[in-house]
Amino acid sequence: MRAAGIPARVVTGYQGGYWSDAGHYLLVRNSDAHAWSEVWLAGRGWVRIDPTAAVRPQRVDLGAAAAAGDQLPWTQTGWLQSLRNHWDIVNHWWNEGVIGFDTLRQRGLLTPFGIRKADPALLGLLLAISCVLSGALGLVWALWRRGEADPARAALRALERKLARCGVVRRHGEGPRHYLSRAARALPARRIELQQLMDCYLELRYAHVEPPPEFLQRFRRAVRNFRVIRVVK
Give whole-number Cα distances, 9 to 6, 46, 47, 123, in Å: 10, 9, 10, 53
Evaluate whether residue 3 is within a structural domain: no
Among 204, 182, 203, 205, which residue's Cα sits nearest to residue 194?
182
Closest among 58, 59, 36, 60 to 48, alpha carbons compared: 36
In terms of domains, do 135 and 170 share one?
no
Neighbours of 204 (CB within 10 A): 20
Domain end marker among 29, 56, 71: 71
| Dist. CA 63–CA 17, nearest whole Å | 8
pLDDT digits (tens, 9 = 90+) for 55-89: 777 766 666 665 555 455 545 566 777 788 888 88
Closest C-alpha among 200, 189, 199 to residue 229: 189
Mark whether 134 and 159 lie in a shared domain: no
Residue 77 within any structural domain of the chain = no
Residue 194 near residue 187 (C-beta atoms within 8 A): yes
Q: What is the domain count for the chain? A: 3
- 86 within domain boundaries: no
Name the band, by pLDDT with cuts 50, 70 and 90, for residue 33: confident
Q: Which range, 139-143, 179-183, 225-229, is most confident?
A: 179-183
The pLDDT tens digits for 163-175 are 998 889 999 889 9
CA angle 194, 199, 200 (to 5 degrees): 95
Together in a domain, 199 and 217:
yes
Q: Are residues 141 and 181 in the same domain?
A: no
Report yes or no on 20 lying in a domain: yes
Domain that holds residue 181: 150-225
Residue 23 and residue 61 share a domain: yes
Q: Are residues 177 and 116 in the same domain?
A: no
**Residue 48, amino acid:** R
Question: Is residue 47 one of the residues assigned to a domain?
Answer: yes
Q: Do both 211 and 195 map to the same domain?
A: yes
Does residue 52 belong to any structural domain of this protein? yes
Comparing C-alpha atoms, which of 101, 69, 105, 85 is closest to residue 25?
85
The verdict on 181 and 201 lying in the same domain is yes
Model-level pTM?
0.38
